[in-house]
Amino acid sequence: MDTSLWTELSKKIQERRGMAVELIQEMVRRPSFESELEIQQYLETWLKERKIPVDVWEPDIRELKQHRGVVDVEYDYQGRPNLVARLKGRGGGRSLTLNGHMDTVPVEPGEQWTYGDPWSGALVDGKIYGRGAVDMKGGIAVALLVLDSLLECGIQLKGDLQLQCVVDEETGGNGTLAAITRGYRSDATIFLEPTSSKSLVVSSRGAQFFRIIVPGKGGGIEYQFTYPNAIEKACKLYQAVRAYALLRASQADHPLYAHDPTKIPTDVCTIHAGNWPSTLPGQCVMEGSLECLPGEDIEQVKAEFRAYLLEAARQDPWMKEHPPQIEWFGLHFEAGETDLGSPLITGLQDACEQVTGEKPAVLGGGGSDLRLPVLYAGSPSVLFGPSGGAIHSLDEYVEVDSVLEMARIIGRFVLDWCGVANY
């Protein structure tokens, strides 16, 4: 690589601190937990001002439901458009996708944020606060800084550089799947999720939501020693789920997850029973999530989990005759993993070392969109983005210095990966 070219690009990125702050604040100030329309319109305008072609469309859930990778949701995407922008290369280089999701989780009612409200975008001591600041509007800002700096430097790449701004990641990834089914594929994909420059995430766990319906016998509280209480029976299965999770953790053997104390999460997270304080419930419903590691088949894990619970239920005389119903719903996806020998991983490690002096640790991660290009687009993928804190929590923030650092790392990698055509 022409070192003077990299020096110029790095300089341009560093000069864009004010732009980084403005971009993140403008995005945070456009809430996107119910609809991503307003923020996508803002980005569309920003990109068109720089004459970057964009494709904006609303994913068709009916079409997506024909695909194995879909998360089966009970709503459509009207008013929730995807956006893809592309700097088309001259040819002869590798293509690259930078992906970021525009949706956020909601804010809990009554939360008292330290710096204004959740949409303030307040800048305090080098941190920008607000829902979605680090997850992941800061990551989108990284991509925009790189695009803008490449244009100012007049750099024309050999391979295509694509930015995917997708919807509905928090529910499972249908926005990224919609981009893939529309034909947007690359030789590699970087999800600009928050990791910091010290961690490069190269895999994602699979997951499935489950529902356990435990029967009881409804009746007045005076029958409490006569009728089976569904809550008491459900407690036995709750303990069985906890025991199963411990068993799974003891059997976990994957080097990318050696750092993770949980390794393979499985737990009950909601419980509902009864409709009156003095009436025994006719049933108790528990819901939770079951996960699997890369290399495991989520369908096989589901079958084993079901068999385990039914055997636990058979140890109780009432549930032996009245077995629980076990249902699967909502979130469902497979695990995904990028080969550790992929040039995407080694290339990003090298780029990071050039900028920071240190290579990031290669780790496994939880459920994410990473699986989708890996499994359905033949595209090795990683999670790699700026640092911050309080993800999905009160006082979420992103560190501005990290956004600029990550933009320099990604910029460096883009020059090497895509190749430069006009120098």
Active site residues: 103, 169
Please give the C-alpha separations between residue 196 and each of 96, 138, 160, 291, 407, in angstroms, as whole numbers.
20, 11, 25, 25, 12
Cβ neighbour number for residue 289 with a 10 Å cutoff? 16
CB-based contact 348:384 (threshold 8 Å): yes
Read off φ and ψ for residue 271, nearest 5 degrees: -140, 130
Residue 215 token pair: 């029967």
Read off φ and ψ for residue 156, nearest 5 degrees: -110, 125
CB-based contact 195:384 (threshold 8 Å): yes
Place of tokens 């590699």: 188
**How many CA atoms within 13 Å lie on the side-chain side of 127?**
17
Alpha-carbon distance of 59 to 66, in angstroms, equals: 13
How is 261-329 classified by DSSP, letter by letter?
SSSS-EEEEEEEE-SSTTEE-SEEEEEEEEEE-TTS-HHHHHHHHHHHHHHHHHTSHHHHHSPPEEEEE
Q: Which residues, including other chains, have CB under 8 Å from residue 60's CB and lie 6 or more apart? A: 76, 77, 178
Angle at the Cα of 402 from the Cα atoms of 188 and 52, rounded to 5 degrees: 50
